[in-house]
A and B are shown apart, each in its own frame.
Chain A
Amino acid sequence: MTVTTWWLAGLAAAVVLAPCLVIQIRRYWGALVRRRQAGRRAEALLWAWLSPAQRRQYRARRWFEVTTASGRRYRVLRGAVVRLQPRGSGYCIEATSPVPVADEMLANKLLLETNERRFLATAHRFPYRSLLPSDLGLWTAFGRPTGDGPDDRREPPSWDS
């Protein structure tokens, strides 16, 4: 075949395939937009249910802490929950239906606050060691003492706001 024939074949293929490609891109883009909107809605809902202290933490760090009725402190992260007092345990718990991560965080917060026993019975526990500077006691030069307990003597300065 000549070069012209190859060019014509390529052009014909492009004319046929381009609409399919555009449809796929539109579909993908639409799904992405819907997912972002869902995430924003879930974030707004989570925000509305957080206490003022939890809002400060979430704004600064994207996680927040929950103190249960038993006095234990947990940190609700995006995708996991960590116990701070006594420390050393992480918990993997997730929604069985597809929901944005903020919805999952809100569900974890509420379950911890209302029924810690059920949370512990549901979640999978794993050994956890935090590498966050605040958890390793590396904020001593910058943070302020909270005096809450031996595991969290210092907080990042951003929490003061």
Chain B
Amino acid sequence: MTGTMHVADDQGDTTHTWDTTDPRTVQEIEELFRDAQASGRLVYRQTSDGSGEQVRLDTWNPEEHTKLFVAPRLAGG
């Protein structure tokens, strides 16, 4: 199973992909997860009805949650 993580940045987003048959790619995504969580960014997975659901590294299932978005950190403007 393959999946895609979109990390929002000044380029629009940077796309990272993983393949569950290649543990190295999954580890890279886990590292991105840790970085995102450490910097206060939220990670969402896409649900079938067009909405999102927050996912954390300990609840992330690379087999099922195959579309992820790392949102920018938000603050009151």
Residues of A with Cβ closer than 8 Å to B? 34, 37-42, 44-45, 48-52, 54, 92-100, 102-104, 106-111, 113-115, 122-124
B42 beta carbon closer than 8 Å to chain A: yes
> Chain B: how many interface residues by the 8 Å CB criterion?
24
Bound CA span A124–B73, Å: 15
A93 and B71 within 8 A (CB)? no
Say whether chain A's binding surface is mostly helix, strand, loop, or mixed. Answer: helix
A38 and B42 within 8 A (CB)? no
B1 beta carbon closer than 8 Å to chain A: no
A113 and B51 within 8 A (CB)? yes
Bound CA span A100–B11, Å: 8
A122 and B44 within 8 A (CB)? no
Bound CA span A92–B73, Å: 14
For A104, the chain B residues whose CB sits under 8 A away are 72, 74
Bound CA span A141–B65, Å: 46
Residue in contact with B9 in the complex, picked from A49, A97, A114, A115, CB distance below 8 Å: A97
Bound CA span A104–B71, Å: 8
A107 and B51 within 8 A (CB)? no
Known: A49-B50, A52-B50, A114-B54. A96 touches B72 (CB 8 A): yes
Bound CA span A98–B11, Å: 9
- Min Cβ gap A90→B in Å is 11
B9 and A110 within 8 A (CB)? no
Residue in contact with B13 in the complex, picked from A45, A92, A113, CB distance below 8 Å: A45
